[in-house]
A and B are shown apart, each in its own frame.
Chain A
Amino acid sequence: MNIVVTVKQVPDTWAEKKLDASDKTVDRKSVDNVMNEMDEYGVEEALKIKEAHGGEVTVVTMGPDKAVETIRKALSMGADKAVHLSDESLHGSDALSTSAALAKVISTLSPDIVITSSEASDARGGVMGALLAERLGLPQLTQARKVTVDPGAGKVSVERLADNGYALVEASLPAVVGVVEKINQPRYPSFKGIMAAKKKPLTKLSAADAGLDAGSVGLPAAASTVLEAQPAPPRQSGTIVKDEGDGGAKVASYLAAQKLI
């Protein structure tokens, strides 16, 4: 199995996230950056599929130079090699042009299965799996909480989350699979894994290397623009009271006063 997994470096979950004042893109400079938490589940699932069926796991990311830290993490978890698409001209790409760029890189890897996670915590688009399936012309198996691969039959099936349960979805390989965090428990990189990661092959591509047209990427090519950004009005600080045996009654009075009951 030739398995490709996408990962993204994002501002740390707990960091106070901001937009860059000059071009209103996500400020990635003033904060600590980490692998998108959800992507750990994607990498874990890729490794599980490899362990069950053999093959190779290739990590693909698009992001600035320091996104290599996130690649290293995926490699130290156990991925075999990585491709890093990095170019100043890519800064400010929207989800649509990012998906086109990633699809271009991924198609050169001829994967049997492409794994993404369901959402990145910075922009929370939750659309990359669908967009990659569209761009690559592959079946879309997103929102998956369970994945079963049958390489012999060339098939993959998933349990796709639905409003009141799940749908069982099947497709032929190759396919794009998007995983949710219910799917597994990501492993921690071992010391051995961290050491081994340093020697694993990493291909760095510029936009030109990847065959991307200059006009198709980055902020100028984005199909939407942020006009204005403002901090949300601060919440009125709330009333916090200690229960003295009448806590429930106090909440009820509050709700009545707010005309909520």
Chain B
Amino acid sequence: MAEVLVLVEHTDGEPKKVTAELLTLARTLGEPSAVFLGGPGTYAKAKDYLAQYGAAKVYLVESEDIADHVAAPAAEVLSKLVADTSPVAVLAAATPDSREIAARTAARTDSGLIWDATALTADLTATQGIFGGSTIVSSKVTKGTPVVVVRPNSTAPEAAPSTPAETPVDITISDAAKGAKIVDRVVEAKSGRPDLTEAQVVVSGGRGLGAAEHFALVEKLADTLGAAVGASRAATDAGWYPHQNQVGQTGKTVSPQLYIAVGISGAIQHRAGMQTSKNIVAVNKDPEAPIFEFADYGIVGDLFNVVPQLTDEIQKHKAG
């Protein structure tokens, strides 16, 4: 069976859930080959996970050349693998880093690129929601090896234990690919909460919260639900919450089972990042707020009354 290359999404070797989703999707197209690119000694943390989700092979590069440079070295490796293995397709996650690697790989291999796919059939027809989800298109790559960037939460991951053959990739990264060097990494936000793009429930706060300290209300609700915390741009711009948590056109795109918007008006740029959530709940004191035009359930009221009560009621529900 022909190979499907899956670019492993990970943080210092720790695989992200979308990797399992991509491997699950890859199994419907051919034989999944995981491509693990990371810093020295990072693969050990991913090994069992890739086996659990059915990687038949793992192509491996662990080097500082990969970890300490932006996009280009990874694209060089992936392009070489495309040339060497003639895969049916290359799958990557719709994260900022992987989409850039995928784009460069498509350019280098003279292949077509599809981004933000939410489904992919065996004949490689992709589904995409465009214009903020208002139009659904099916599209297909017509040239080279399809390089498809897939949205997290598009496929339900299914385990399929395997014993992957590990193949180190024999490659020397060119100097040209090492032009953009990462000299430092600064951690600003570590919450212990689920990853925003992968979470099944997201609770987001906006300008309606009025002050940074009021985000505690949102966090408390999120923690009762095991949810990730998001924020509107108004909230991140005001410095109330880290920009990494921004949801929207220029922030993260999320697609959880449940999205709760607290004190968020629902501007089109915010909507672009959360519209495909399965259930949208909004709390806003303005009955005219645009968010109510697309919320499944909305409460017109003061968030300072509604949110604490909601948190209490969920706790009671769980206890009962």
User: What residues on B are CB-neighbors of A170 within 8 Å?
Assistant: 180-181, 183
Q: Is the CB of A239 within 8 A of B96?
A: no
Interface string of A240-255 (1 = CB under 8 A from B): 1111011111111011
The reply to whether the CB of A137 lies closer than 8 angstroms to some CB of chain B is: yes
Q: Is the CB of B305 within 8 A of A243?
A: yes
Q: Is the CB of B142 within 8 A of A225?
A: yes
Q: Is the CB of B140 within 8 A of A224?
A: yes
How many residues of chain B are within 8 Å of chain A by beta carbon? 94
The reply to whether the CB of A119 lies closer than 8 angstroms to some CB of chain B is: yes
Q: Is the CB of B307 within 8 A of A138?
A: no
- Which of the residues A96, A124, A181, A249 comes within 8 Å of B106, measured between beta carbons? A96
Q: Which candidate, A50-58, A70-78, A156-164, is the interface stretch facing chain B?
A: A156-164
- Which of the residues B70, B134, B189 comes within 8 Å of A169, measured between beta carbons? B70
- Which of the residues A13, A119, A261 comes within 8 Å of B317, measured between beta carbons? A261
Q: Is the CB of B250 within 8 A of A163?
A: no
The reply to whether the CB of B60 lies closer than 8 angstroms to some CB of chain A is: no
User: What residues on A are CB-neighbors of B313 within 8 Å?
Assistant: 248-249, 251-252
Q: Is the CB of A134 within 8 A of B136?
A: no
Expressed in whole angstroms, the Cα–Cα distance for A242 and B179 within the complex equals 57
Q: Which residue of A lies closest to B188 (CB)?
A: A165
Expressed in whole angstroms, the Cα–Cα distance for A165 and B189 within the complex equals 6
The reply to whether the CB of B166 lies closer than 8 angstroms to some CB of chain A is: no
- Which residues 87-125 of A sit at the B interface, judged by CB distance below 8 A? 94-96, 99-100, 118-119, 121, 123-125
The reply to whether the CB of B168 lies closer than 8 angstroms to some CB of chain A is: no
Q: Is the CB of B257 within 8 A of A260?
A: yes
- Which of the residues A121, A123, A243, A255 comes within 8 Å of B258, measured between beta carbons? A255
Interface string of B284-316 (1 = CB under 8 A from A): 000100001011111111100111111111101
User: What residues on A are CB-neighbors of B183 within 8 Å?
Assistant: 157, 168-170
Expressed in whole angstroms, the Cα–Cα distance for A84 and B272 within the complex equals 30
- Which of the residues A131, A180, A246, A260 comes within 8 Å of B103, measured between beta carbons? A131
How many residues of chain A are within 8 Å of chain B by beta carbon? 86
Q: Which residue of B lies closest to A141 (CB)?
A: B180
A189 to chain B, nearest CB (A): 22
User: What residues on A are CB-neighbors of B318 within 8 Å?
Assistant: 261
Expressed in whole angstroms, the Cα–Cα distance for A235 and B268 within the complex equals 16
Expressed in whole angstroms, the Cα–Cα distance for A18 and B125 within the complex equals 21
User: What residues on A are CB-neighbors of B310 within 8 Å?
Assistant: 247-249, 251-252
Expressed in whole angstroms, the Cα–Cα distance for A139 and B283 within the complex equals 45
User: What residues on A are CB-neighbors of B57 within 8 Å?
Assistant: none
Interface string of A206-244 (1 = CB under 8 A from B): 000000000000000011111111111001101111110
User: What residues on B are CB-neighbors of A145 within 8 Å?
Assistant: 243
Q: Is the CB of A124 within 8 A of B249?
A: yes
Q: Is the CB of A225 within 8 A of B140?
A: yes
A221 to chain B, nearest CB (A): 9
Q: Is the CB of B299 within 8 A of A175?
A: no
User: What residues on B are CB-neighbors of A163 within 8 Å?
Assistant: 11, 195, 244
The reply to whether the CB of A64 lies closer than 8 angstroms to some CB of chain B is: no
The reply to whether the CB of B279 lies closer than 8 angstroms to some CB of chain A is: yes
Q: Which residue of B lies closest to A258 (CB)?
A: B279
- Which residues 174-220 of B sit at the A interface, judged by CB distance below 8 A? 176, 179-190, 195, 201
- Which of the residues B101, B113, B190 comes within 8 Å of A95, measured between beta carbons? B113
Q: Which residue of A lies closest to B195 (CB)?
A: A163
User: What residues on B are CB-neighbors of A223 within 8 Å?
Assistant: 106, 110-113, 141-144
- Which of the residues A17, A119, A248 comes within 8 Å of B309, measured between beta carbons? A248
Q: Is the CB of B297 within 8 A of A254?
A: yes
User: What residues on A are CB-neighbors of B75 within 8 Å?
Assistant: 134
The reply to whether the CB of A205 lies closer than 8 angstroms to some CB of chain B is: no
The reply to whether the CB of A19 lies closer than 8 angstroms to some CB of chain B is: yes
Q: Is the CB of A140 within 8 A of B179?
A: yes
For the A-B complex with A13-B269, A230-B136 known, give 20 more contacts whose Cβ atoms are closer than 8 Å. Answer: A13-B268, A19-B135, A134-B103, A140-B72, A140-B179, A142-B100, A160-B70, A175-B179, A222-B112, A222-B142, A223-B110, A223-B111, A232-B133, A241-B299, A243-B306, A247-B299, A247-B305, A252-B317, A258-B279, A261-B314
Could you list 13 examples of A-B contacts with CB < 8 Å?
A125-B115, A127-B99, A141-B180, A164-B190, A165-B244, A169-B183, A228-B138, A229-B138, A230-B135, A231-B135, A232-B134, A240-B298, A251-B297
**Residues of B near any A CB (own CB < 8 A):** 11, 70-72, 75, 96, 99-101, 103-104, 106-108, 110-116, 125, 129-131, 133-144, 146, 176, 179-190, 195, 201, 225, 233, 236-237, 243-244, 249-250, 257-258, 268-269, 272, 279-281, 283, 287, 292, 294-302, 305-314, 316-318
Q: Which 9 A-B pairs have the closest CB atoms?
A: A243-B301, A248-B309, A139-B179, A223-B112, A252-B313, A248-B310, A127-B103, A165-B188, A130-B100
